[in-house]
Structure 1
Amino acid sequence: MKALCWHGKNDIRYDTVPDPEIEDPRDAIVNVSSCAICGSDLHLLHHFIPAMESGDVVGHEFMGEVVEVGSATESLKVGDRIVVPFTITCGECEQCRRGNFSVCERSNRNKALADMVFGHGGAGLFGYSHLTGGYAGGQAEYVRVPFADHTHIKVPNGLSDEQVLFLGDIFPTGWQAAVQCDIEPTDTVAIWGAGPVGQFCVRSAVLLGARQVVVIDNVPERLSMAEAGGAIPINFDEESVLGRLHELTAGKGPEKCIDSVGLEAHVTRSPDSVYDRVKQAVMLESDRPHVLREMIYVCRPAGVLSIPGVYGGLVDKIPMGALMNKGLTVRTGQTHVKRWSDDLLRRIEEGQIDPSFVITHSVSLAEGPEMYNTFRNKQDGCVKVVLKP
């Protein structure tokens, strides 16, 4: 089959690889109808995520038709159309029973390695390094889905791929980020980053009833998309983020702050960003936490910081004094997709939201390597890329 494979920094290729096979009675094989490039895939492209190996199939946002099931798979049958969450979940361990699906205790087959790095590792993830299980990803013609009885979302008749594809990652990621904020009707929610996850943070905060939603970025078309979804845009290249937030909140700061950027903050003119890039260059720091620092500084005392943006390693100069003395609450984590999927699917069916709004490019899988560069460089108005195997 054909798939997009990682071969090193800035090197994604359209390769021929072996077809997946049933390896466990709980598996299913899915013929992929649509997949997408996610912002966190760029962290792989730039080799900020450890434990990648040349030839690894990438991609963790995909859906398709079940073409084969293992003998112990009970809730799926050949012909079922499903979205596959990026987090692989057994559905039976203590964490899964609590709804903490992204830290499933059984699905990461390289758990010993993850435990060594993080103290206790999380769930297995599709296409996201051997630190999270080394599972082949979904930017491919076919994918093996482990624990298939639990690692799927069935698609109702009448909904297009484009309406439901993002239930596998960016829609529930934006939703969880907003839910973690405990939004109240009087709140200002400030969101750093207007990429795909940031767009769903905006829509989620609006649906959850925030008084005002503010989004911070420097890409005009992304800010326009967020504004169309109900956000007040701040272009950090043209105005002071601190000054504008001060003005919008009567000098008190936003009650809730969301980091949908993660480890590759692209601000270039601030002293701390220069510091981070120098430390990265000499391998004394892995991640660039400018957004985290700024959120801690501007957030209203007793507020909440929600972090859906991916971080992979070590950061420096985090203002812990401000964090502690202001009494801020920090909530983070990979997304517990299955915790939210039923509610979000209902909202799509009822017409509360059509997630396809975020799609700007839909191309063949063969064009994937080129589209990685277009997406990374924010060319041609690119916000979200859907790939068709």
Structure 2
Amino acid sequence: MASSSKAGFMRAVQWEGEIGDMSVNIVARPKIIAPEDALVRITSSAICGSDLHIYHGLFGSTPHGVGHEAVGIIEEVGPAVDFYKRGDRVVIVCVAEDGHLVSKTSLQPFDGLIGYGLGSEFGTDDGLQTEFVRVPWADSSLVKIPSTLEDKEWLPLADVFPTGWSALNRSGFQAGDTVAVFGAGGVGLMCAYSAIIRGASLVYVIDHVPARLGQAAAIGAMPINFTRGGKASEQILALRPGGVKRCVDCVGEVGLNDELKHQQDYILREAVKITSAGGGIGIAGIYMSALANNGQGTEAAEKLGLKAEISFPIAEAWFKGLQIQGGLVDIKDNVPAIAELIKNGRARPGFVFSSEYSLEDAPLAYRRFEKWEETKIQLKGNRKHTEENALEIRNGSGSGLNGASNGA
């Protein structure tokens, strides 16, 4: 056995290029390569619903690192970094950007951005489910946080909290509105939580997994199991014949119908049914697998019945005068306000995590997450200073820590 030097190697969760094939490998530790870079030691990362798109082969066609949510400590900064220094505790948000406002005209969703852990077709092959990461454009791609509170309270700030918050905004939400949220995964629970702390008069959360619905009830939402007692639209309209003012799709194109079969347009149709006249629908769920995939990604999409175009009840939406808006998470506009809510004790989003796993057990964590046995998962990172954490390389090879890659 050999030990790594300070600048040597690290553990990283990687998708191996096959459906359901995640492993933990030994890879080279990143280094500062540009003046605007920061090197961050990751103390905790998270598994997101978007990571399952990779797990299922929908994003990316070649093996790459995964994960886009993390909290860590800065180890080193480049000479052009102005606002951060070694020892600062930070949230690494899901996309890195250079801080310049760019008018988007391309259908490529990460044009001009770096999306961690989504593969080179969408950003970078470097993921955040690892021990160290190089953060480009550190001054505009990190969020400094205090030393107080556990990592789990800050991790949602990297993606799921601002994603749920952004989607609620896109529905046209105002305090006092009634809200229905489809999906009680990480984003759905954060969307419902956002609505509650922002003054919604009533929040429904729609799912079929009892543990998820239980978490929704625990934060003050009304759970709706769409596989029992009729479709969600039938149950909600029976309770509120006029429907709800705002509806948010936090599931997306891989949604299930009331028979638990994939139906790409099901949730949008349900949302139009229950949204009242003059109301709005926000879309956080992903509808983008058709934009940039080829090869295996296309095959995976075809197996799930995903098409580039889907049917939509435009007549009913038009007649009701509904506002409908979707898109990627709006990090810059929403993270500062959410961070203040966490700092001041008004928000405690750590409830969204159902379990914490070691980095080595990430393949198991993915299997459990895919089967809805976990709501959201926190992965332990490198919680010791570099000097104290020599990494042993087993047999001198770069193979996975578990001996072989782990499929679902």
Q: Does 1:148 align with 2:143?
A: no
1:195 corresponding residue in structure 2: 185
- Report if the CA contact (8 A) 1:122-1:132 is conserved: no
Q: Does 1:76 align with 2:84?
A: yes
CA shift at 1:229, angstroms?
Answer: 0.9
CA pair 140-172 structure 1, distance change in 2 beyond 3 A: same
Matched-pair identity in %: 35
Q: Does 1:356 align with 2:317?
A: no
Q: Does 1:92 align with 2:105?
A: no
CA distance in structure 2 between the partners assigned to 1:367 and 1:383 by the alignment: 16
RMSD: 1.9
CA distance in structure 1 between the partners assigned to 2:111 and 2:147 by the alignment: 37
User: Could you tell me which of 243, 250, 256 is aligned with 2:234?
Assistant: 243
User: Could you tell me which of 282, 298, 308 is aligned with 1:306?
Assistant: 282
1:384 corresponding residue in structure 2: 376
- Summarize deviations over 1:48-84 as a string: whole Å, max 9, x none: 22x3312x00000011111121221111111111001
Letter in 2 for 1:15: N
**Paired residue secondary structure (1:131):** coil
Q: Does 1:346 align with 2:340?
A: yes
CA distance in structure 2 between the partners assigned to 1:66 and 1:119 by the alignment: 28
1:89-238 mapped onto 2 (5 Å cutoff):
89-94=97-102, 115=106, 118=108, 121=111, 123-238=113-228
Q: TM-score scaled by structure 1? A: 0.86
**Paired residue secondary structure (2:340):** helix
CA pair 371-334 structure 1, distance change in 2 beyond 3 A: same
CA shift at 1:261, angstroms?
Answer: 0.6
1:7-18 mapped onto 2 (5 Å cutoff):
7=16, 8-18=18-28
- Report if the CA contact (8 A) 2:21-2:55 is conserved: yes
CA shift at 1:5, angstroms?
Answer: 0.5
CA shift at 1:134, angstroms?
Answer: 2.1
- Report if the CA contact (8 A) 1:183-1:208 is conserved: no
CA pair 139-319 structure 1, distance change in 2 beyond 3 A: same
CA distance in structure 2 between the partners assigned to 1:268 and 1:206 by the alignment: 26
**Paired residue secondary structure (1:12):** strand
Letter in 2 for 1:247: A
CA distance in structure 2 between the partners assigned to 1:186 and 1:83 by the alignment: 31
Larger RCO (CA within 8 A; separation ≥ 6) = 2
Q: TM-score scaled by structure 2? A: 0.82
**Paired residue secondary structure (1:75):** coil
2:401 corresponding residue in structure 1: none
CA distance in structure 2 between the partners assigned to 1:74 and 1:330 by the alignment: 40
- Report if the CA contact (8 A) 2:34-2:136 is conserved: yes
Letter in 2 for 1:248: L
Letter in 2 for 1:143: V
CA shift at 1:135, angstroms?
Answer: 4.2
Q: Does 1:291 align with 2:282?
A: no
- Report if the CA contact (8 A) 1:183-1:209 is conserved: no
User: Could you tell me which of 232, 238, 242 is aligned with 1:252?
Assistant: 242
CA shift at 1:321, angstroms?
Answer: 2.4
CA distance in structure 2 between the partners assigned to 1:119 and 1:134 by the alignment: 13
Range that drifts further, 173-182 or 21-30:
173-182
- Summarize deviations over 1:313-350 as a string: whole Å, max 9, x none: 22422222222232211121111223222211211122
Q: How many matched pairs? A: 352
Whichever of the two has the greater Rg, that structure is 2
